[in-house]
């Protein structure tokens, strides 16, 4: 009786290895927190979902490991192996020392504040009418001020960012104290800042890091028949500041 020899299919084996490598890389990035260099924290569940799909895909392929194939094709495997190779090559991703506005440290600050007062925002001092924006809560306060501008009229605010000038957007005595914001991934990084009014704008150098102190005032922009909040800080004091690494993301 002739014995059948089972021959390993190299194409299927390569596909499984690529799928497992890609899925393993995603699990590592999500579990270690390294994914924050490339995408926002809200993407973490999707990364785990993708890793699960890769795992199931590779398991499904094991049934074809010993199925003979007349012509071997490997080119499609590069779609999965290229991202893995890119991750292994030396590169300089964004630092994540203060990466977002709703990270673990920010959540802890918010939860502890809510235990004392359900409506207290971190850095908010209602009695003194002051807002002290820490570096890791820039994005949270950015969203808060634009969504509830009227609640903070007349408050003194202190916030750190870099000088953003744009003649097409800001007037002669205006600029923005800004940070880089990420909506989804590193490819969409863009400046997000609070409008400031300051007579000494000409003395400020573009992209230098400063801490701005001033009074929040109400301001509205008209666009297509609708009014949108655009709070302005009437600057009373500016001091040099150290550059803050990382990005923020509004929520």
Residue-number span of the structural domain to which 119 is assigned: 104-240
DSSP code of residue 35: G
pLDDT at residue 237, rounded to an integer: 95
pLDDT at 104 over 80: no
Residue pair 180/171 in contact by the 8 Å Cβ criterion:
no
Element holding 82 (H helix, E strand):
helix 78-88
- Tell whether 79 and 166 lie within a shared domain: no
Distance CA 203, CA 123 (A): 29
Q: Where on the phi/psi map is residue 224: left (φ > 0), alpha (ψ -120 to 50), or beta? A: left
Residue 99 falls within a domain, yes or no? no
27-40 tens-digit pLDDT: 998 998 888 878 87
What pLDDT band is residue 117 in, cutting at 50, 70 and 90?
Answer: very low
Q: Is residue 77 in some structural domain?
A: yes
Query: Both 121 and 236 in a single domain?
Result: yes
Which SS3 state, helix, strand or coil, does residue 71 take? coil
Task: In whole angstroms, give the CA distance from residue 19 to residue 25.
Answer: 10
Tell me if 2 is assigned to some domain.
no
Region 98-105: what's the mean pLDDT?
43
Q: Is residue 183 part of a domain?
A: yes
Domain membership of residue 5 (yes or no) is no
Instruction: Check whether residue 112 and residue 153 sit in a common domain.
Output: yes
């Amino acid at each position: 009786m002739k014995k059948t020899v089972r021959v390993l299919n190299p194409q299927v084996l390569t596909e499984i290895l690529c799928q497992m490598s890609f899925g393993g890389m995603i699990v590592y990035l999500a579990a270690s927190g390294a994914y924050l260099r490339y995408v926002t924290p809200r993407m973490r569940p999707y990364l785990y979902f993708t890793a699960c799909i890769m795992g199931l895909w590779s398991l499904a392929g094991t049934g074809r490991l010993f199925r003979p194939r007349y012509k071997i094709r490997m080119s499609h495997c590069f779609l999965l192996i290229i991202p893995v190779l890119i991750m292994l090559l030396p590169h300089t991703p964004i630092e994540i020392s203060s990466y977002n506005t709703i990270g673990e440290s920010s959540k802890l600050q918010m939860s502890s504040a809510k235990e004392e007062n359900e409506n207290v925002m971190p850095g908010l001092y209602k009695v003194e009418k002051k807002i002290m924006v820490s570096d890791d809560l820039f994005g949270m306060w950015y969203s808060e001020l634009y969504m509830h501008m009227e609640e903070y009229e007349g408050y003194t605010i202190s916030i750190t960012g870099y000088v953003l000038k744009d003649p097409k957007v800001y007037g002669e005595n205006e600029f923005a104290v800004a940070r880089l914001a990420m909506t989804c991934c590193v490819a969409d990084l863009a400046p997000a800042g609070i409008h400031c009014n300051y007579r000494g704008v000409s003395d400020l150098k573009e992209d230098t890091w400063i801490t701005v102190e001033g009074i929040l005032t109400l301001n509205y922009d008209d666009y297509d028949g609708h009014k949108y909040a655009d709070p302005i800080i009437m600057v009373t004091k500016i001091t040099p500041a150290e550059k803050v690494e990382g990005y923020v993301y509004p929520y």
